Amino acid sequence: MKRLVSLAVVLVLAVLTPETAASLSAERQSQAAAAPLGGVVATILVDPLRVSLSLQAARPRVGAFVSGTEAVTNHSTAVLSGVVATLKFPLTVVVKPSASQFLGILPPGATTTARWLICATAPGTYRVVAEATAQDAAYDFVTDSQPTSLVVTDGKGKC
């Protein structure tokens, strides 16, 4: 299984030599047949995942829990399996339940969500990112949301 880490579109390039030509699949060999040795064979893969993160409150006090929701959408025509949502955060942030949640199968065009309770143990501005991973028949996909700021003000609460 190949792992694809994507920003939106990933270009996979390979210099065509006799060795690389022999290692290509039958489908790729027929595509590469027209390319001269020493040429470049390219495949463009569009990442099917779209990930967003929303926080209920952007300025909680220390010790206050904030609700966070990650939405994962499959923009492909293929079923994605093994979908996992993960929240990435600094060590001074407490997350319940665990940082990773297994979401299962995501049909084409479908959206699924994961929810967390997030609490900071110290004041500050924290960068929180949602990540989704999934697989189709040929690739593993890893996609991050845009970073979301969590600005925590002083307080006496405990997480």
* Rounded Cα gap, residues 15 and 40, in angstroms: 5
Residue range(s) occupied by CATH 2.60.40.10 in the chain: 49-152
pLDDT of 28-77, one tens digit each? 555 555 555 666 666 676 789 999 999 998 789 999 999 999 999 999 99
Residue 152 has pLDDT above 70, yes or no: yes
* Rounded Cα gap, residues 80 and 115, in angstroms: 20
For residue 140, what are its two tokens? 């593993």
| DSSP one-letter code for 78 | S
The pTM is what? 0.72
pLDDT of 92-143, one tens digit each? 999 999 999 999 999 999 999 999 999 999 999 999 999 999 999 888 999 9
pLDDT for the residue 57? 83
Does the CA dihedral 84-89-91-96 come out positive or negative? negative
pLDDT of 12-29, one tens digit each? 444 445 555 555 555 555
Q: Which CATH superfamily is domain 49-152 in?
A: Immunoglobulins (2.60.40.10)
Residue 9 has pLDDT above 50, yes or no: no
* Rounded Cα gap, residues 30 and 17, in angstroms: 15
* Rounded Cα gap, residues 30 and 142, in angstroms: 29
